Amino acid sequence: MGARRANEKDADRRIGRRALLIGGTAAAVGTGVLARDELARLWWRAPGVEKPRKEGEVDYTGARWVAASDANWRRADRPDDYGVDMVIIHVTQGSFDSAVKVFQDPGHGAAAHYIVGKDGTVAQMIRELDVAYHAGNRDYNERSVGIEHEGFVDRPQDFTDEMYEASALLTARICARYDIPVDREHIIGHVEVPGTDHTDPGEHWDWDRYLKLVRKARTAVA
Ligand SMILES: [Zn+2]
């Protein structure tokens, strides 16, 4: 799971970008008078409002949609405003349901795009278009898709065959969609994010096995 501090920073940044976009354009025009429709057009060029969205729509057909609180992510227009070149693997340190619950809590300040259960169930809680607060690092949040896995880092038995299979299929799809290489430079653990104090997915997560499964599934979807 991610750190809370990313939340405030991201909110500040969004306001900053919008103010700059409108302010900068007005200055360039010089007179300070901007036609109303032009201003409206420019406003709509701000990140996050380009692509049509449907309530309940998922990016991965194997997932069911369960919305996270919108306090735990920010609207964006990826991969147009931020390129996506990374998948970040997490472990929830709790049950599937408890992860869903905290991601729906506006006070939590963090959430991932997906949760994969021990039985292979996949929930999508944030669209891949949007920036989820899961890595505790703004740059890594903007460029990655975050996947949580039900269980505890010190309980290897939590990482079931069904979970590895389901997660690998999901990651393979993400890699195919954004042309992300299937390697440990681009599929990383939360522990590998610079500045993090999180240890997930931990020493029991079998990276060799996981990468092998992702590669196999990636070949199949190619
Ligand atoms: Zn994590």
**What's the gap in Å between 93 CA and the centre of ligand 1?**
9
**What's the gap in Å between 90 CA and the centre of ligand 1?**
4
Would you tell me how many other CB atoms lie within 10 Å of the CB of residue 164? 20
Whether residue 207 is predicted with pLDDT greater than 70 in this model: the reply is yes
**What's the gap in Å between 191 CA and the centre of ligand 1?**
7
Residue 157 amino acid letter: Q
The CATH number of the structural domain formed by 50-221 is 3.40.80.10
- In order, the DSSP letters of the chain are ---THHHHHHHHHHHHHHHHHHHHHHHHHSSS---HHHHHHHHHTSTT-SS---TT--SSTT-EE-PPPTTSEE---TTTSS---EEEEEE-SB-HHHHHHHHT-TTT----SEEE-TTS-EEE-S-TTSEES-SSSHHHHHHEEEEEESB-TT-GGGS-HHHHHHHHHHHHHHHHHHT--SSTTTEEEGGGSTT----TT-TTS-HHHHHHHHHHHHHHH-
Whether residue 83 is predicted with pLDDT greater than 60 in this model: the reply is yes
**What's the gap in Å between 135 CA and the centre of ligand 1?**
7
**What's the gap in Å between 190 CA and the centre of ligand 1?**
5
pLDDT score recorded for residue 5: 45
Whether residue 10 is predicted with pLDDT greater than 70 in this model: the reply is no
Residues 6+ away with beta carbon under 8 Å from 157:
none
**What's the gap in Å between 117 CA and the centre of ligand 1?**
15
> What does pTM read for this prediction?
0.79
**What's the gap in Å between 1 CA and the centre of ligand 1?**
3
Name the residue ranges covered by the structural domains of the chain.
50-221
What's the Cα-to-Cα distance from 131 to each of 18, 73, 155, 194, 211, rounded to whole Å? 16, 6, 30, 18, 24
Q: What share of the chain in percent tops pLDDT 70?
A: 77
**What's the gap in Å between 100 CA and the centre of ligand 1?**
14
Considering the chain, what is the average pLDDT of its residues?
Answer: 85
Looking at 33-42, 79-88, 111-120, 189-198, which range is the least confident one? 33-42
**What's the gap in Å between 68 CA and the centre of ligand 1?**
16
Whether residue 46 is predicted with pLDDT greater than 60 in this model: the reply is no
